[in-house]
Chains A and B, each alone.
With several copies, the nearest count.
Chain A
Amino acid sequence: MKTMMGLINLGQEHDYLNELTYFRTGASVPFAGRYRLIDFTLSNMTRSNIYEVAIFAGNKYRSLMDHLGTGADWDLDKRHGGLFILPPDWNDPTDISKGDLRYFHNNFDYFERGKSEYVLISGSQFITSTVYDDMFQFHLDRDADVTLLTTSYPDPLPEHRSCIKVKMDEKSWVTCLCNEQENQPVFSGVYLLSKQLLLELVKECIAHHKENLFKDGIMANLERLKIQAYQYDGYSSVVNSIESYYRHNMALLEASSYQELFFSGNNVLTKVNNQPPTNYHDTAKVSKSLIATGCEIDGEVTNSILFHNVKVAQGATVKNSIIMQHCQIEEGVHLENVILDKNVTVTKNQALKGTKEQPFVVAKRRTI
């Protein structure tokens, strides 16, 4: 039976979310009321008959380790396979590798030990809920060296500018990978190849002092490799800036997007947090909002997202905002176009206001 292992490569992702990534890697930024960005990719993998997942952890990985815990919440707390968080812990004095290639170099034994012949590689910025089994079958059927997951957006958005665009022939063989501004299918950052080829490309890149597996190993070898594009049409979004982060959170307040992302397939798995149901008190007034469990609401909440255990006191109003877990909004507070990171307290009668294009972001653990 041919099987895939999963690799979430955070080694080449930048901390692009300003205040939200001061203390954590982008992959562990909270999203959609109860998730972290990485949950989507990780859930997609564990549903796809992938039983071993490695994560190249990048910097600021403590919150990631904390979130992932034993892997039990993704069914990855297993004795054989399971979840492997591989942080940057280099001790080899002969190591000449650079960029994300360093993770490969220092974890070669991990890949050698694994039983799967294929590796599905992903970042954490492509948000969707799917399974990769069809893509795997497609890869095998087409006898490709590499298969890229692509998708198309009818109305290109700012965040797609920095994405790699894919041109292909009528048999979906990739002919060009570039950053042109034309409206071409977008590369999702998810791709699939055999472990053997992966390790060959890694060795070659290191030997030639390269720094980036995808750019130097795949894109630069477009002529030599047989690369397929697998087109995906489900609900998805790309989160690679505060602006796109805010917009794609807010998009989920539309019942149709909410249903498409969360109810079209399997559940998105995330860390268990044991909160009681949310308590709406007598004076609560809530509309068009996504509310996690454990909240206590006495005030007014409109067009907003509350993560778990948020308290909104009587007389407070929260509008067009994202309020992360354990925040306290005291009496008379007014928030509009605001993102509060977790554990923020906004004291009585304070008002904060940003714009939709530039939401006001408050870093975690602040009291205002």
Chain B
Amino acid sequence: MKKECVTMLLAGGVGKRLGLLTKNLAKPAVPFGGKYRIIDFTLSNCLNSRMFPVGVLTQYSPLKLHQHIGVGKPWDLDRMHDGLTILSPFTETHGGNWYEGTADAITKNINYIDNYDPEYVLVISGDHIYHMDYNQMLSHHKKSGADVTISVLEVPWKETSRFGILNTTDDLRIYEFEEKPIHAKSNLASMGVYIFNWKVLKEYLLEDASLENSDHDFGENILPAMLANNRRMYAYRFKGYWKDVGTIESYWEAHMDLFDQDLAQLLRNKEWPVYSHNSLLPPQLIEDGAIVRESLINNGCVIKGTVEQSVLFEGVTVGKGTRVSKSIIHPGAKIGENVELERVIVQENVTIPAGTTIVVGMDKEPVVLSNENINQFKQLFAGKKIKLA
């Protein structure tokens, strides 16, 4: 079956800087926004842009991720011939075959792509929170006659040192990459969204695969090689919210962004819906005496206490006399009575015992609570309030 463009979604990231959140979970599978997992934003972009087939490349701790994605039903990507396929590393006749880098992951699936005999390949990752119409970018790519188009975001000049920066001519042709430059010449940061002409990309992938000391990585190897060969590489300006939730702090921030009236549209934009598995729990019950303000709450929550500036995933209970503030509570967590939580992230199914107080100051990194460390906290600070300020 011939398709104009095949999408390859890199979902193998380890997400080291997310600490406990990615202990047994691939980064794209980390819960987000009271209902979603991070990868839902990218998969919904694929559906809303009508960009399929989609090959999803997984590697690290993929169990939950595979369960979540399944055959792509929530995103209508369960299609007969051009839907979603999970591409994990697999055994061949002689031993294993792990992906050794982002480019290597594509190289090992050249057959999958060639099945569709495409003109273009869209490469994206499942790590970011944003809405984007890839189809528009593809139209732009076709018009410009580029070999590669890289989507870029204008970032504040003072933050350029945190990003991969693209230096371009006025017509957005790229002549230089700078990884986290101290003195940036441009504020156009790469979003990790690429469209390649497949013929060109394939050539570079095969070349790169034969190099022994290559990391087989797009940013490190493939794109620089193309630039060195003077390939036509263009930047494509993206406007809108885009966030790499790569650290605990940015993960927490992205949630607080959801209380901003404008950014609330990230979840409730009817023109660009974000899809996920639906909760099977009954509506939330707000009991007599509860106070709920500036918060996002999902099905099955039972609230007796106070919830402020917090995001509660499904099935969370909040006991009487308890205050949950500036926090993110993952599915099924049970917060006992007379608890005080501020700026914490409570993991799935964790029970916070009655009387616990954990208040984290704005200058400290939010604390991730698991069943293990909540016990340590309890032992360490038995009877005392924990303030990390």
Contacts and interface: CB of A to CB of B under 8 A. Distances in A.
A45 interface: no
Consensus secondary structure, chain B interface: loop
B64 interface: no
B283 A79 contact: no
Interface in A330-348: none
Given A276-B296, A277-B312, A291 B278 contact: no
Contact of B294 (A32, A281, A293): A281
B285 A293 contact: no
Given A79-B74, A262-B281, A276 B275 contact: no
Interface residues of B, number: 46
Contacts of B286: 286-291
Interface string A295-312: 000000000011000000
Interface stretch (B8-16, B236-244, B297-305): B297-305
A278 interface: yes
B361 interface: no
A274 B281 contact: no
A190 interface: no
B292 A279 contact: no
Interface in B262-313: 264, 267-268, 273-276, 278-300, 302, 307, 311-313
A296 to B, nearest CB: 8
Interface in A2-41: 32-34
B162 interface: no
A273 interface: yes
B297 A277 contact: yes
A261 B295 CA distance: 27
A293 B282 contact: no
Interface hub of A261, A273, A276, A278 (most chain B Cβ within 10 A): A276
Given A277-B311, A287-B286, A288-B287, A293 B298 contact: yes
Contact of B293 (A75, A262, A284, A291): A284
A121 interface: no
A367 interface: no
B299 A293 contact: yes
Contacts of A287: 286-290
Contacts of B279: 293
A289 B292 CA distance: 12
A122 to B, nearest CB: 21
B313 to A, nearest CB: 8
B50 A277 contact: no
Contacts of A273: 278
Contacts of B311: 277
B384 interface: no
Interface string A251-273: 00101001001100001110011
B164 interface: no
A287 B289 CA distance: 6
B293 A281 contact: yes
B53 interface: no
Contacts of A72: 73
A81 interface: yes
A255 B287 contact: yes
A176 B79 CA distance: 42
B264 A279 contact: yes
A51 B135 CA distance: 17
The list of the 10 closest CB pairs from A to B, nearest first, reads A33-B283, A277-B34, A276-B267, A277-B296, A267-B280, A272-B278, A262-B282, A277-B298, A292-B283, A280-B292
Given A258-B285, A281-B293, A285-B291, 13 more contacts: A79-B73, A262-B282, A276-B296, A277-B298, A278-B296, A280-B297, A287-B287, A288-B286, A288-B287, A289-B285, A290-B285, A291-B286, A305-B283
